[in-house]
């Protein structure tokens, strides 16, 4: 169920509030363009600045609009275990297909703390859980050994790996086996990640180029890496340009160029600078997404 191009959805805003109409339209566009799955309210969805009510509402809207056409992996991460459990239970009740749970940020738990955090969530729900390992943001790195322990629990089914350590895919396959779902969390290195045995990518770029990212992933999953490389060359400037400034500011600007939503983010994020806008527009042209 969880494979291919899975979009880490941005959350459209208008005048500081969640733009529900734009979000619903955006979800439908993502699916019709070929995305294989959706992740609402992850970091790209500005979850740190959404209230709990807004967070839960976005999850509900995503599930409603997806209507079973693609799986919905709801963001349910927190550095407070009780809060993560609450968000995960809500996602289950709302009808999500899985939850994405980031390693606890800021409080820097050790490996045993990481294990107990995920075990508590595992014990609280009946949904598949995908670990989100992103040391650059959380400042902790889940070891392969800890992940192998967690994989023995019934609901821990995979990982979104944003370590940028490509050897980690093979190491995890060796420790846990090929059935453990490994999803790239970094667009620029997803080609190599897939060659190591990945199943897909939870992608930022697919917000902007869903059809191209889905076709890229289909080529990888078919083992046609020569074809995938053609897509990689087309998408690479966009992968880079979207991250010149903090995510999702670049993606939201690109989507405003494509008339999908307003270029509106919440503080402490601010709109991107003119040089970055120029780079993103050039990358959109290079990818064939605009003139």
Residues belonging to the active site: 132, 160
The DSSP-derived string for 5-19 is EEEE----EETTEE-
210-221 vs 225-241: helix axis angle to the nearest 10?
Answer: 140
| 191 vs 20: CA distance, rounded Å | 34
| 150 vs 145: CA distance, rounded Å | 9
Q: What are phi and psi of 106, to 5 degrees?
A: 75, -50
Strands 13-14 and 17-18: antiparallel
Residue 133: helix, strand or coil by DSSP? Answer: strand
| 123 vs 129: CA distance, rounded Å | 11
Residue 74: helix, strand or coil by DSSP? Answer: strand
144-151 vs 167-176: helix axis angle to the nearest 10?
Answer: 40
Q: To 10 degrees, the CA torsion angle through 129, 71, 198, 279? A: -110
Retrieve residue 7's tokens.
């979009």
């Amino acid at each position: 169920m969880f494979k291919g191009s899975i979009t880490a959805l941005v959350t459209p805003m208008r005048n500081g509030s969640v733009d529900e109409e734009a979000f619903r339209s955006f979800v439908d566009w993502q699916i019709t363009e070929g995305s294989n799955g959706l992740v609402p309210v992850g970091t790209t969805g500005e979850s740190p600045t959404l209230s709990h009510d807004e967070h839960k509402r976005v999850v509900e809207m995503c599930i409603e609009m997806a209507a079973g056409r693609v799986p919905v992996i709801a963001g349910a991460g927190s550095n407070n275990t009780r809060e993560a459990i609450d968000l995960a239970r809500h996602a289950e009740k709302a009808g999500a297909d899985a939850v994405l749970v980031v390693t606890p940020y800021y409080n820097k738990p050790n490996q045993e703390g990481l294990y107990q955090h995920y075990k508590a969530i595992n014990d609280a729900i009946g949904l598949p859980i995908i670990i989100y390992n992103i040391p650059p943001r959380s400042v902790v790195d889940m070891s392969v050994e800890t992940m192998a322990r967690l994989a023995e629990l019934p609901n821990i089914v995979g990982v979104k790996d944003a370590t940028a350590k490509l050897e980690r895919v093979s190491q995890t396959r060796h420790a846990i086996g090929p059935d453990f779902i490994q999803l790239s969390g970094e667009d620029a290195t997803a080609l190599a990640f897939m060659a190591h045995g990945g199943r897909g990518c939870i992608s930022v770029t697919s917000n902007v180029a869903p059809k191209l990212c889905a076709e890229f992933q289909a080529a990888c999953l078919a083992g046609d890496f020569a074809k995938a490389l053609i897509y990689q060359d087309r998408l690479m400037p966009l992968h880079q340009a979207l991250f010149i400034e903090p995510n999702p500011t670049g993606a939201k600007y690109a989507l405003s160029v494509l008339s999908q939503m307003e270029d509106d983010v919440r503080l402490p994020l601010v709109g991107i600078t003119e040089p970055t806008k120029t780079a993103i527009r050039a990358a959109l042209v290079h990818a064939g997404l605009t003139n």
